Structure 1
Amino acid sequence: MIRVGVGGWDYDPWRETFYPPKLAKAKMLDHASRHLTAIEINATYYKLQKPELFAKWRDAVPDGFKFAIKGSRYCSNRKLLGEGGEGIERFCGQGLTELGDKLGPILWQLMATKRFDPDDIRAFLALLPRSLDGIPLQHVLEPRHESFRDPAFVALCREAGVAIVFGDGADFPLVPDVTGPIVYARIMRARGALEQGYEPAELDRLAETAKAWSRGESPAGYPYVAAPAPVQPRDAYLFFISAAKERNPAAAMALIDRL
């Protein structure tokens, strides 16, 4: 499967570009989930949520929809990641499994100042649980420092079965190597002057890239750090994030149309 979405669903400028006029906030998730196929939840990055809220989100979206969950900053924004076991356990125990089969990947976003330390990254990856209450978990790591463009980092993630974020933005390095059982892309180049945020040719290329990922390939034309991963079909998640955020829903829908 290839799933496409945005970050969050409550953003006031989307009332002018995405949501129907006067749509109640309580109806926003329902509307978004019928036009997109995944959403990245950002609220979990800042604080723990209640199990009842995860259940409410689960019931608001159709079958087949997926939520990606952003991992707590108290786990990922620390000097020594490998010492965050207690925080990871608390984060995973907040009620994530109330989402049931709508629970998608967990995204761990590192600080931009965090440099690649092989021992610390190895220790952090070892802390990530592979299942919770019988539900398999998929983890994704987003490095944001140039030092992570290192074959040793790619090897550690492949060994742990953890995906590296394909972070397509101007501010952070791109590590496009496929490392886990899924591919997770965060697309961050929308321009406000374009109705869909991107030129048609850019969306065409993204569609072909996503299809290649789903076939298990490493698409040509990207600055890979290590040798390609073995070819095997993979689910792919693409989220339009940041930049001209008001255009991201239109970009996501345009990509869905192409797929």
Structure 2
Amino acid sequence: MAEQGRVRVGISGWRYPAWRGDFYPTGLPQRRELEYAASQLTSIEINGSFYSLQRPTSYAAWRSETPDDFVFTVKGGRYVTHLKRLVDVDTALANFFASGVLALGPKLGPFLWQLPETLRFAPDVLDDFLGRLPRSTAAVAALAERHDDKVAPDRALTTTDTDRPVRHALEFRSPTFAVPEAMAVLRAHDVACVFADTAGRWPRVDEDTGPIRYVRLHGDQELYASGYTARALDEWAERCRGWVAGGQDVFVYFDNDMKGFAPHDAMALIARLG
């Protein structure tokens, strides 16, 4: 019988001025928003890492501001996914992993790699890229050692406190990936296929391809804007229970942040899951 997995539910990023006075209590200092969000949720996607290399001091601060059992997903850099488009990425990956992710310590969860809609499935490219991703924090540290001068020595973190497994998830947006051949490549590398709910904009693929299940809920009626109904949340809770019962750890992130629904929907799902 499979060992029970665990489900973590949260939001994609946490700095949203429009949430102040709604999700964030009136008068809460901005510097305490992560602390507050982490008190209500069980995980958060770090979005800033997608746009630019962060600093070890930032990751260390985020670790210190969250509960002991909290977990972060770190979003892979768009330089790797959108500019390099998964090709010739050794140095780019080294710089990304040297930028401080290891400062999260035991709170380091999966890495999320989000591909642009214009990037079509090419079996060899995907296979090569996934094969370069580190699968343990020791491997992250070893790869980080190969960073170039884009990460200054005093801003690089290339050591880990202990060796832990590292998981990866892939969110594609081109329908060319929604084929058995792409799923086979993901399975070969134990990389989770992101189950993305995007109001019909991008592929909605429910495939078990790795040791974790990873869900991104961008809005089922209006992309980034609509909230989830009680019935919809019930259905997602039921899916999560099934995955967890099968022994998988589950990560669910609400990205319907435009009108502030994301944190409220996340808390409602957490309540359903008990």
Same fold per superposition (TM over 0.5)? yes
Task: Confirm or deny that 1:205 pairs with 2:219.
Answer: no
Give the alignment partner of residue 42 of structure 1, picking from 47, 50, 55.
47
Give the alignment partner of residue 71 of structure 1, picking from 73, 76, 83.
76
Q: Deviations over 1:29-50 (max 9, x none)?
A: 1100010000001000011111
Percent same amino acid at aligned positions? 43
Give the alignment partner of residue 154 of structure 1, picking from 177, 180, 183.
183
Separation in structure 2 between the aligned mates of residue 239 and residue 178 of structure 1, nearest angstrom:
17
Match of 1:182? 212
Residues 1-259 of structure 1 mapped to structure 2, 5 A cutoff? 1-78=6-83, 80-133=85-138, 134-170=163-199, 171-189=201-219, 197-216=227-246, 233-242=247-256, 244-259=258-273
CA contact (8 A) 1:5 1:39 kept: yes
CA contact (8 A) 1:191 1:243 kept: no
Secondary structure of the residue aligned to 1:81 is coil
Provide structure 2 residue ranges, at least 5 long, that are not aligned to the other structure: 1-5, 139-162
Q: CA deviation at 1:15?
A: 1.0
Secondary structure of the residue aligned to 1:137 is coil
Separation in structure 2 between the aligned mates of residue 243 and residue 177 of structure 1, nearest angstrom:
25
Provide structure 1 residue ranges, at least 5 long, that are not aligned to the other structure: 217-232
Q: CA deviation at 1:173?
A: 0.5
Separation in structure 2 between the aligned mates of residue 258 and residue 207 of structure 1, nearest angstrom:
6
Q: CA RMSD in A?
A: 1.6
CA contact (8 A) 1:111 1:143 kept: yes
Q: CA deviation at 1:197?
A: 2.0
Q: CA deviation at 1:244?
A: 3.9
Q: CA deviation at 1:127?
A: 1.0
Q: Which moved more, 1:143-152 or 1:8-17?
A: 8-17
CA contact (8 A) 1:145 1:172 kept: yes
TM-score by length of 2: 0.84
Separation in structure 1 between the aligned mates of residue 263 and residue 221 of structure 2, nearest angstrom:
13
Match of 1:223? none
- Alignment-mate amino acid for residue 131 of structure 1: S
Secondary structure of the residue aligned to 1:21 is coil
Separation in structure 1 between the aligned mates of residue 7 and residue 260 of structure 2, nearest angstrom:
23
Separation in structure 2 between the aligned mates of residue 79 and residue 5 of structure 1, nearest angstrom:
29
- Alignment-mate amino acid for residue 253 of structure 2: F
Secondary structure of the residue aligned to 1:156 is helix
- Alignment-mate amino acid for residue 100 of structure 1: G
Q: CA deviation at 1:108?
A: 0.5
- Alignment-mate amino acid for residue 237 of structure 1: F
Separation in structure 2 between the aligned mates of residue 45 and residue 95 of structure 1, nearest angstrom:
13
Q: CA deviation at 1:243?
A: 5.7
- Alignment-mate amino acid for residue 88 of structure 1: L
TM-score by length of 1: 0.89
- Alignment-mate amino acid for residue 246 of structure 1: G
Q: CA deviation at 1:8?
A: 1.0
Separation in structure 2 between the aligned mates of residue 59 and residue 128 of structure 1, nearest angstrom:
27
- Alignment-mate amino acid for residue 174 of structure 2: H
